[in-house]
Amino acid sequence: MATLQIVFHCLCLYVRDEENRIVHVLMPATKAHHGEHLALLKHHSFTEAADNTRSLAGWALDLGPASGVVELETLNPQQERVILDLTAVTGGRTVEKELVTGRNKGVKARITLRAGGVAHTVAETFWRFGGRLVEMVTHVVWEMEIEDVEAPLEWVSIGADGDPPLASLSALGREEGLENVRGKPDGRMGYRLHVYHSTRTDLKPEEVEHHFRAFYEELLDHPNPTPEQLPRNRQEGPKVHCGSGQAYLA
């Protein structure tokens, strides 16, 4: 067994399959939402690109055992810092099963997690969402145990050409630097990857609102979200990243 930490950055929707204890991380298509997000896998060993990334666009990956054992309660990290619940704020809209099983133009990339849970989250600032002030999570550190790091990773093309971005976890090599619940390195050895679904540059707060519409329009069949269903932050300050959301499987 070996520990894997995946750090998910920016515009990712965590779809909860409560019945099977699985989480699908969906990266929505964003061409129509004020600039396209890139779906990227990053590791320092990916030296063929200057930014150490490989494209995830058009790929779906399953990680973990056949039967799901995800710690679903960890998707609610604390009361103020939240992975925004889009099913709740829309009065019950859910993600249809075909979005987490096959190919769909609304999904740019997908990673299915069958074990583990959220080890740590990062939030940059406060936003008004659903009638209250919350810290919208922008980075999620997911931790899980992998039984066989030598085994080929289970990639399926949902529109990609060429070879998958990573053959197996063993190609990465174990390293120090896994994080504890406070986001600090704790000396453990394991495997660590970063998944980005973000623009090349940081965004202004009003741009985040526009990009966030992709969750509703591409994944929840909700083309006209109300102002209360979008994160709003008009304060002066630094540029920010898009945040994360969660929804339930139909």
pLDDT of residue 234: 60
Which residue numbers in the chain have pLDDT < 70? 32-34, 77-79, 234-238
Buried b (16+ CB within 10 A) or exposed e, 57-87: bbbbbbbbeeebebebebbebeeeebbbbbb
pLDDT of residue 31: 73
Structurally, the chain folds into a number of domains equal to: 1
Q: Which domain holds residue 95?
A: 2-248
| Strand ranges (E), the chain | 2-10, 13-17, 22-28, 38-42, 53-55, 59-63, 81-82, 84-85, 107-113, 117-129, 132-146, 154-157, 175-176, 189-198, 245-248
Chain segment 99-156, per-residue pLDDT in tens = 999 999 999 999 999 999 999 999 988 999 988 899 999 999 999 999 999 999 999 9
DSSP conformation letters of 184-213:
-B-S-EEEEEEEEEE-SS-B-HHHHHHHHH
What is the C-alpha separation between 220 and 104, in angstroms, rounded? 13
pLDDT of residue 34: 63
Contact (CB, 8 A) for 215 and 12: no
pLDDT of residue 237: 60
Triad 222, 125, 233: Cα angle to 5° = 50
pLDDT of residue 32: 62
